[in-house]
Amino acid sequence: MSSKGSMSSKGCILATGGAGYVGTHTVVELLNEGYDVVVVDNLANATMEGLKRIEEITGKRVPAYNVNLLDTEGLKNIFSENRITCVMHFAGFKAVGKSVDIPLQYYKNNIGGTVNLLEVMNEFKVYNMIFSSSATVYGVPEKLPFVETDKTGGCTNPYGKTKFFIEEIMKDLYTADQQWNIVMLRYFNPIGAHKSGRIGESPIGIPHNLMPYISKVAAGELEFLTVYGGDYETKDGTGVRDYTHVVDLAKGHVAALKSVKNKCGLKIYNLGTGKAYSVLEMVKAFEKASGKTVKYKIAPRRAGDLPTFWSDVSLAKKELGWEAEKDLDEMCEDIWRWQCMNPGGYPSGQSKST
């Protein structure tokens, strides 16, 4: 489906990958703040059901296009039909482990699609960009927590390298042309779901991320969780991460949008909680929220994984006025509500095309 976007006084936002996990939650927050939103998604790991549910939650229609970012003419058509003022770029393959197995697909899709998008934006004189980056750009930590001025690169997997390379491309673009306003948001492990239980993380096939997998084990859809690595130098031998509620992340994008509108130039912010939990702590927290037992087995370490990382989020608080509000219990409760209301994720058989 597609439609010419109406134009509110706040402008029209193009959300690439807007049918996906972080995208759908951010679209809800944008609509609630009075922005017009247009979505483009090739539905490689999403369906249009999430957008239908956004419309249920907000009462507002979301024009959407089934277009791959590598499709130049398709992108130009979107910009021609809608008065885009800013792009929020969520689109991209995101499974760390899978990126190790199929690196060329990750480089072509994530980097190639972004370059194509930036070229079309430039042609249509849309110079405002908010990019979904990742904590993986920091590579192996020299110290913790990560701060935005830490060295990047030396990433341990192709997924992280695509985010790093895209950051470098955007830095070069801004150096060459300072008409651009670019905010790069480095995520720290998004989890959770909308309080309504209507939208959440719904990967196609077997989940590659920890919390969707845990929830399916708790629900009896999967037999056990495979924990990759039980011999790290951490509190219980399992990997330690900074987990952030997806709604908090979504609100971080709204805050970043206000920065872009104030002609911020190029800015980088961590979006996390500043707290770290091990895999087994996440299992216990989910057992508490669900009242179910989560069976797990320890397996050898997985290529590309780091033992531990978490964020310093003081810059986002200082400059954007943003900080995470939801705690671990609420994250797990919201995931379990989503799981119970949507046992198989979004309904099977939903069209993967517009």
27 closest CA partner among 40, 39, 45, 43: 39
Give the predicted TM-score (pTM) of the model: 0.93
Contact 254, 10 (CB under 8 A): no
pLDDT tens, residue order, the chain (354 aa): 444 444 455 779 999 999 999 999 999 999 999 999 999 999 998 999 999 999 999 999 999 999 999 999 999 999 999 999 999 999 999 888 889 999 999 999 999 999 999 999 999 999 999 999 999 999 888 899 999 999 999 898 999 999 999 999 999 999 999 999 999 999 999 999 999 999 999 987 788 889 999 999 999 999 999 999 999 999 999 999 999 999 999 999 999 999 998 899 999 999 999 999 999 999 999 999 999 999 999 999 988 788 999 999 999 999 999 999 999 999 999 999 999 999 989 986 444 333
Q: Which one of the listed residues 21, 127, 138, 159 is annotated catalytic? A: 159
What gap in Å lies between CA 207 and CA 295, rounded to an integer? 16
At a CB cut-off of 8 Å and minimum separation 6, what does 262 contact? none
| Model pLDDT, residue 348 | 61
Which pLDDT score is estimated for 349? 45
pLDDT of residue 4: 45
CA distances for 150 relative to 110, 143, 146, 147, angstroms: 23, 9, 7, 6
Q: What is the DSSP letter of 308?
A: B
CB 133 within 8 A of CB 184: yes
Whole-number pLDDT of residue 204 = 76
DSSP β-ladder status, 277-278 and 240-241:
antiparallel
Distance CA 67, CA 21 (A): 17
Q: Is the peptide bond before 141 cis (omega within 30 degrees of 0)?
A: no
**DSSP state for residue 70 in the 8-state scheme:** T
Of all helices (H) and strands (E), which one includes residue 203?
none
DSSP letter, residue 133: E
Reduced to 3 states (helix: H, G, I; strand: E, B; else coil), residue 149 is coil
How many angstroms separate the CA atoms of 336 and 331, rounded?
Answer: 9
Q: Quick check: helix, strand or coil at residue 246?
A: helix
Note the pLDDT of residue 147. Answer: 98
| Structure tokens belonging to residue 322 | 């943003």
Integer-rounded Cα Rg, in Å, for the chain is 19
Q: Nearest-CA neighbor of 42 among 5, 16, 63?
A: 16
Residue 256: C-alpha distances to residues 260, 262, 282, 324 (Å): 6, 10, 29, 14
What pLDDT sits at residue 9? 57
Residue in the structure block whose two tokens are 């703040």: 33
Containing 74, the helix (H) or strand (E) segment is helix 72-81
Tell how strand 84-89 and strand 128-134 pair up. Answer: parallel
Reduced DSSP (H G I as helix, E B as strand, rest coil) percent helix, strand, coil of the chain, to 5: 40, 15, 45
Classified as helix, coil or strand, 328 is: helix
| Active-site annotation holds for 174 | no
Q: Which residue has the tokens 């989910």?
A: 286
How many CA atoms, within 13 angstroms, populate the side-chain half-sphere of residue 216? 20
CA terminus-to-terminus distance, the chain: 5
Provide the pLDDT for residue 304: 75
According to DSSP, the β-strands at 12-16 and 36-40 are parallel
CA distance 235 to 239: 9
